[in-house]
Amino acid sequence: MATQIFVNLPVKDLDKSMSFFEALGYHFNPQFTNDQAACMVISDTIYAMLVTHPFFATFTDKAIADATQTTEVLVCLSAESKDAVNSMVEKAVNAGGKTTRQPTDYGWMYGWGFNDLDGHIWEVAWMDIANMPKP
């Protein structure tokens, strides 16, 4: 069995966060979704658990970071093309997110990112490994 990853992200408003990511084309696994958390399916092996602050706090003794003020992690997802990168970021902005910076184009690699409603940073990247510069 392939290793799966479940990225747990604290969210202030679960319903709004779910609507935001549904606007980006993602869906949620109802088996692992309730009023405290939602399991967003990114791929067959990658999931993001959107967890309300009170429930998230039961998993850690540390303070929950305010992602609009500080960054603990950047989540990066691959895309099929430069156009797919742009499309995802544009969907995020149209759903209420914000771009993190200008797109970066290295020729063989292209990336752009957005902040979700809670300020978590999502990078989207396309790579052409065959044309990657040799070290």
pLDDT of 82 reads 97
pTM of the model: 0.91
Contacts of 126 (CB under 8 A, 6+ apart): 78, 79, 80, 81, 82, 84, 85, 109, 110, 111
pLDDT of 116 reads 98
φ, ψ for residue 86, nearest 5 deg: -60, -40
- Can you list the domains of the chain with their CATH numbers? 1-59 (3.10.180.10), 69-135 (3.10.180.10)
Query: Which tokens hold the place of 131?
Result: 């044309």
Per DSSP (E only), the strands in 12-71 are 27-29, 37-41, 46-52
Q: Give the mean pLDDT per block of 10 residues along the chain (135 residues).
A: 92 98 98 98 97 97 95 94 98 98 96 98 96 89
